[in-house]
Structure 1
């Protein structure tokens, strides 16, 4: 590689945008540069790094192995540079940025609507890219630098991860109102265990805190339906004897549903600690700090209800 003195640090910002956008035009828009200027910067990067870095693929750019190897150290280096510049190095009103978040549709349903309203008011040039991953996938994405922020429930985290508890939720039961005796306001343990259950298991996470608690108490349940998404689960209950044990905040819109009823769980399950995670090395990054604070503010308002 050429001597560091010959490196224009602005080129690294361009490379970071290209690795995020995988498209010259979108990278140019994000950086407030012309497309020819970004193409020229890419040409200089190819000479500097002695690698093509990207190849054309399906109307976009596909990074080379060398480019992917640079992704993590580049993200960390730019984060440290932004930290040196201080909070004024990131202006949400003016900055063009793409954040990569990972969350389930439970987390997205709770956090994302208000987050987008906040961003359209206060950060109109910032974009989000949302992916749904398993817990292990979120953790790996944050560690590897592919994910800026993960939101979910994480019983175990590696040392590289910085966790921030957003709020605690609790498990409740959702059943079809017609499957209950009239005026019943709770589901008894025998009835709960006798019913077939719906399990939400993202990407095959078949072992959950629910089943661990049931087994520890000396009971078992029959799971009649396994789903990868929270959002479709309530509709599968209607007209059946199924029971869904689910986080209470995911059911707020169903409080006055005519067909479905939310009941306390007959088993005391542990609280659900909903947490946002990021890499410890990026805690001084002003852009990521702004995003974490925005999510935390939204979560605080939810915790009050």
Structure 2
């Protein structure tokens, strides 16, 4: 309650500036995002410090680190601004004249599936909407949506916090990518071969693919990971001409060199999973965001 009383003593422009400063933790970047001069943002920060009787952001290297007071203000501030935006937003969203920037988080797998169709739609129907694509781990995506740094996150999120909302985009299953010549017995991969051969693991900041490891644990087996990568781009090239196996989402294997590479089912059961789009519940009243969610859904419909 104390924090909300503080917020009521500050005009809306200062609230907006504080919200962006807490997100960017950098005066110059905040000024660019707000379309203000750097001195204007610095002056606003000085006023906020005086009104709230707290430094709010303390310089550490090239960034500004939030104080404990600023961190306590961040959530109620974001909620208050989201409610104000929903209150003042027009009942109808006009894509053709809209001017917005949305921050979308997704892996390169998600980007390959979503972005070509989504970008074509935006250029045709909403050319004033810009996209900032963020690459993060599952945990980083969820945290970004929670703290307001990310508008939408596309990915696999088995356990979303109660504050987030989601819609499923499709159901996905795993497949194994191998060099076609490495399976002389045909187009199937048996369990002894799978376990005997080395594997490529795609992971980012330790998030890995826990579904595969859990499935192996369920049959009391383990695999040997010879190469661990944080990104998809080069992974298929590592398979061609080697005995390596890459177990990944099947849709990521659709446009590969199938003359030399072969996608086969895993030789043990791995549960399917839902690929979803997630956003914060406080953004539910933003008609522009809801329109964008509908466009993402249409891309995969």
Which range, TM-score by smaller chain? 0.7 to 0.9
1: CA distance between counterparts of 2:207 and 2:98?
Answer: 41
State the partner residue of 1:244.
246
Q: Which residue of 2 aligns with 1:275?
A: 276
SS in 1 for 2:255: helix
Cα deviation 1:167-203 (Å, max 9, x = unaligned): 1122111111221228x23323443333222222332
In the TM superposition, residue 293 of structure 1 has moved relative to its aligned partner by 2.7
What corresponds to 1:303 in structure 2? none
Number of the residue aligned with 2:106 = 103
The answer to whether the aligner puts 1:230 opposite 2:204 as a matched pair is no
Kindly tell me: are residues 106 and 265 of structure 1, through their superposed partners in 2, closer, same or farther at Cα, counting changes over 3 Å?
Answer: same
Contact kept, 8 Å, 1:197 with 1:223, in 2: the verdict is yes
Counterpart of 2:16 in structure 1 is 13
Q: TM-score, normalised by structure 1?
A: 0.79
SS in 2 for 1:203: coil
Question: How many aligned positions are there?
Answer: 295
Residues 82, 286 of structure 1: 8 Å contact kept: no
Q: How does 1:243-262 map to 2 (within 5 A)?
A: 243-254=245-256, 256-262=257-263
Q: 1:276, CA displacement in angstroms?
A: 1.8
Change (3 A) 1:118 1:28: farther
Instruction: Quote the offset at 1:165 in angstroms.
Output: 0.9
Deviation, structure 1 residue 108: 2.7
Taking only aligned residues, the RMSD between alpha carbons, in angstroms, comes to: 3.3
Could you list the runs of 5+ residues in structure 2 that have no partner in the other structure? none
Distance across 1 between alignment mates of 2:153 and 2:8 = 37
Q: How big is the shift at 1:239?
A: 1.5
What TM-score results when the alignment is normalised by the length of structure 2? Answer: 0.80
Q: Distance in 2 between matches of 1:111 and 1:13?
A: 31
Residues 111, 89 of structure 1: alpha-carbon distance in 2 compared, 3 angstrom cutoff: same
- Cα separation, 2, equivalents of 1:23 and 1:131: 20
Deviations 1:141-166 (A, max 9, x none): 33344433322212223322222111
